[in-house]
Amino acid sequence: MRLWTLAWLLTQAPRQPSFPFRSELSIERAQSRRVRQAVRYAHRHVPYYRAVIDHRGLSARRFRSAADLAQLPLLERSDVQDGPERFTSTARPIEQYLTFQTGGTSAAPITVFHDRDSR
């Protein structure tokens, strides 16, 4: 784990134990903030989501809450099988990701690129 990641986790730790006991409004605000951050990141760095959002004429800024995620299509297994790199962030070179593959016991295997820092 990188030093800055550890430092960030340590700054967040004191707030986490009390999170489930916050008011409903406070939790909804935090959830909405996280949705906005995730969608903006995905639009900027993940080819699949950039294409879907642009093709549907949406704006990443229009996603304000978890309910807005319904505007995105559900993923099919074949979507991921056909191009796993389309679901991988371009924020860093793909060579820096760990590559995992499902066993494929129930269907064809799926390749997943995983961020080393999030292990």
- Tell me the pLDDT tens digit for each residue of 10-65: 777 666 667 677 788 988 999 999 999 999 999 999 999 999 999 999 999 999 99
Q: Does residue 107 register a pLDDT over 80?
A: no
Band (68; pLDDT cuts 50, 70, 90): very high
User: 4 or 79: whose pLDDT is higher?
Assistant: 79
Taking the domains of the chain in order of start, what are their residue ranges? 24-74, 75-119
Q: What is the pLDDT of residue 119?
A: 67
Q: What is the pLDDT of residue 71?
A: 95
CB atoms within 10 A of CB 115: 13
User: 48 or 105: whose pLDDT is higher?
Assistant: 48
Q: What is the pLDDT of residue 80?
A: 87
Of 4-8, 47-51, 76-80, 108-112, the range with the highest mean pLDDT is: 47-51
Q: What is the pLDDT of residue 27?
A: 87
